[in-house]
Each structure stands twice: as C-alpha cells, then as structure tokens.
Amino acid sequence: MYTITKQFRFTAKRQISGFPIDHPYAQMQAKEFIVIFELSSISLNKDGYIMDYMEFFSIENFILTELQGKTLNNVFRFNPTPENMAKFFFKRFKKTYHFISSVTVVENNISARYILSHDEEDHIETETKREEMIKIVNEFPRLKKDMRK
C-alpha cells in the first residue's frame, strides 16, 4: 500500500460551544489550522505516483476563499471542532479525490483524524455504482438511436 499526504494551512477565528463560559475555547479565538489529506493506493499510475499534487487545486481554492481569515462559526453549520472539521473535509472531497483515506486537522499540538470506515466505504461504492447506472440509463435512448443508424 502506498500512502502520501498533502497539507494545507489556514488561519481563522472560531468559538466552540459546549464549554463553560470561562473556558478559553468558549471565547472567540484566532487559530492556525493544518489540514492533512492522506491518500492511499495499492498501485501507482504509469508515471510512478498516486496523484499529482497539482490536482489538489479545488481543496486549496476552497480553503483560501472560504476559510482563510474567516469566522468558522459563520462558515460551518456545525461546532467547528477539529474532529468535526476533519469529517467535513473528508466527506466534502472524497468523491473528487477517491484516493483519500483520511483527513487530519491539527490545531496547536492537538490533532483529530477522520478515517473511512468499511460501512462508509461500501456506501460510497454503492452510491458511485448507482450514479454510473443512472448515467447509463439516461444515455440509453441516445445509444439505442445511434445503434439504429
């Protein structure tokens, strides 16, 4: 199994709910975050790598335009803990970057990691096959017409 990682950094403000009012996390704070995407594959492409890092443009663009310098409580519909953000990034980008095996969010010296479970893997595979079947079914009238020519 081959594994590579790609890191993205951003700074943003956030306030975490669920803590006592005098707890530091209950206050609005500016933080630096590192988001680490781990990609895994049992094989490499013909050029000897899993994926070209330049293909991460949509993730980098999202982080720079939607998160950098923003208040995360206004961006996300969930409590912006590292755990919740790791799951968000994983779910948001897994379909586009199917080699993603985990996402880690680091804040200070603490990190939270979200890893694909086997149940989710089965669900994603089923959804992908379903979408492929829908495309085939939608293309069928055109294909049938082309076959008559």
> Domain 2-116: which topology?
Tetrahydropterin Synthase; Chain A (3.30.479)
Domain boundaries, given as residue ranges, for the chain:
2-116, 117-149
> Residue 118 above 60 pLDDT?
no
With pLDDT > 70 as the criterion, what percentage of the chain qualifies? 79
Residue 83 has a pLDDT of 95
pTM listed for this prediction: 0.77
> Residue 121 above 70 pLDDT?
no
Q: How many CA atoms lie within 13 A of 100 on its CB side?
A: 30
> Residue 86 above 60 pLDDT?
yes
Separation between Cα atoms, residue 97 and residue 92, nearest integer Å: 10
Separation between Cα atoms, residue 91 and residue 114, nearest integer Å: 10
